[in-house]
Structure 1
Amino acid sequence: MYRFLLSRQWVILTLVSLLLIPTMIRLGFWQMHRHDLRAARNQLVSDALAARPVPVEDLSAPGHAVTSTERYRTVTATGTFDTARELVVRRRVNADDAVGFHVLTPFVLTDGKVLLVNRGWIPADAAQTAFPKIPAPPHGRTTVTGRLMADETTAASGIKDIKGLPDRQIMLINSEQEARRLGAAVLGGYIAQTAPEPKGGLPQLVGEPGREDSALNLAYAIQWWLFSAAVPVGWVVLVRREARDRRAAAAGADAQETQAVSV
């Protein structure tokens, strides 16, 4: 009754089922790996935000590449803002997804080194060609606090570093480029200012980094494993149904043959 399993149709169906099972299991482990990576990144962000503030030069120096464990750490610095060499960063959005500029101001430390400070978001006009009017930071010697950020690159951000922009406008915040422009020793990375808060609400301080949703990857992993378990169950159900249908067809044929002989 089960000789139909040797037919071309059933051999193909069986081979496909055998191929699907390990494939779905591997897809489940892949989603679990993505879940673990996202959970680990979320933990790094939480640990960094919860860490006590330290002087910025404890974590960064000229030419330093900010690491994943240093990113988002709260740092402090004392010096003066150099608004004469201030820049704006194009195509940045605020919490309401409005497109504008981020204000990047060199901050000259007491030892002469320069820290790049992202003072926050300001709106932009439609043309985005003229340098905007920017509220001034505190004058004189100031202590700022912010989250340490890594240099932006096209590879990491997906933002193209467009050339030929209007004067004093850039696409990416990069300490190496700014060191060449300023002719100064610039600390690696930059900070997103968190204090002091600007008077009048502008620039709008950059909000805390979001967390990645890892729960969805966990759900996908469980889903793939359930699918892999359902394949052999479905195969058995189909085989039993086929065998039952064949038995019924055979019984019907025997009944017709018996009836024909008796007539």
Structure 2
Amino acid sequence: MVVYRFLATPRWLGYAALTVAAATVMVLLGLWQLDRYHQRAEINARIDAGTSATPVALTEVIGRPPGAAGTVGPQPAEHTEWTRVTATGRYDPAHEILVRGRTVEGAVGFEVLTPLVLNDGTAVLVDRGWVRPAAGGALIAPDVPAAPTGTVTVSGRLRPPESRGGRPQEVAGHAEIRRITPSVIAPALPYPLFDAYVSSDEPAPGFAVVPADKQNALQNAGYVLQWWLLAAMTVYGFGYLARREARGPRPANLLDEEADEEEAAHSAPRPA
């Protein structure tokens, strides 16, 4: 008869507590990864939906900046990222900014931000596309196609502000930044600015398309399975050890019989 009264001893109670704690942490880590999977899958769904969606007016998605020049408006809601929007105005190439350190298809270059001034005097930053750096190095201005003149209508994906942005710096006769943060850029501009930017999905000749940053949701799904399998193995391992403990040490005569059987199996003549 298998007896499990030993499970009430301090040693085994400690093992049980450790097992429960470890399995609980692993289950919670799996739930966290499951939440990350849903978040990333939702982003990918918005990116895919925006590919064929009809653009909507910029002001239908994000509020206009209500303040004076050098200020920004409200941030866009999280669910509006990657929405296809359209805006009409005039480009202001005098305040164009290059975003350095941007990679497209393995090459590092610049994204070109040009303010689009709308009819009401507010402006939105438009990412017109990606260009390669100049052959002469970082201190040489890259070849940037000129912005169209006159009134233009731009369509593209709405992007939220990037974090940890710095103020534009003068490099080789043009302004450069590392991160696109409208609230930090706005004080250098003579108009109120939307606190988001538009990534053009119809770049002009000379520009490369900045691809949508799709998320690797399947990686998170794999982590969910990994953590939950580890939790199950931890519980199974405790049960296996408890079962062995309950059975006690195996009788010596049984061990001898098994050893004799194994020796006989090895010494038996093999058929020709």
The bucket for the TM-score relative to the shorter chain is 0.7 to 0.9
Question: Which residue does 1:204 correspond to in 2?
Answer: 208
Quick check: 111-120 or 170-179, which moved more? 170-179
Q: Out of 93, 117, 122, which is 1:83 matched to?
A: 93
Contact 1:48 1:70 in 2 (8 A): no
Aligned length: 243
Residue type of the partner of 1:235?
F
Q: How far apart are the structure 2 equivalents of 1:175 and 1:23?
A: 40
Are residues 1:35 and 2:41 paired?
no
Q: TM-score w.r.t. structure 2 length?
A: 0.74
Residues 167-220 of structure 1: per-residue CA shift (max 9 Å, x gap): 41122223334432221132331111122x412xx221212231x222333333
What is the percent sequence identity of the aligned residues? 33
Q: TM-score w.r.t. structure 1 length?
A: 0.76
Q: How far apart are the structure 2 equivalents of 1:124 and 1:149?
A: 24
Question: Which residue does 1:191 correspond to in 2?
Answer: 198
Residue type of the partner of 1:42?
N
Cα gap change, 1:25/1:181 in structure 2, threshold over 3 Å: closer, same or farther? closer
Q: How far apart are the structure 2 equivalents of 1:142 and 1:76?
A: 10
Cα gap change, 1:225/1:38 in structure 2, threshold over 3 Å: closer, same or farther? same
Residue type of the partner of 2:122?
K
C-alpha RMSD of matched pairs (Å)? 3.1
Residues 200-256 of structure 1: per-residue CA shift (max 9 Å, x gap): xx221212231x22233333323333333333433333344445561414878xxxx
Cα gap change, 1:4/1:149 in structure 2, threshold over 3 Å: closer, same or farther? closer
Question: Which residue does 2:119 correspond to in 1?
Answer: 110
Q: Out of 214, 230, 234, which is 1:231 matched to?
A: 234
Question: Which residue does 2:145 correspond to in 1?
Answer: 135
Q: How far apart are the structure 1 equivalents of 2:216 and 2:127?
A: 27
Question: Which residue does 2:220 correspond to in 1?
Answer: 217
Q: How far apart are the structure 1 equivalents of 2:182 and 2:235?
A: 57
Residues 16-41 of structure 1: per-residue CA shift (max 9 Å, x gap): 33433333333332322322333333
Residue type of the partner of 1:43?
A
Question: Which residue does 1:257 correspond to in 2?
Answer: none
Q: How far apart are the structure 2 equivalents of 1:101 and 1:244?
A: 70
User: What are the ranges of 5 or more consecutive residues in structure 1 without an aligned counterpart?
Assistant: 155-159, 253-263
Quick check: 83-92 or 3-12, which moved more? 3-12
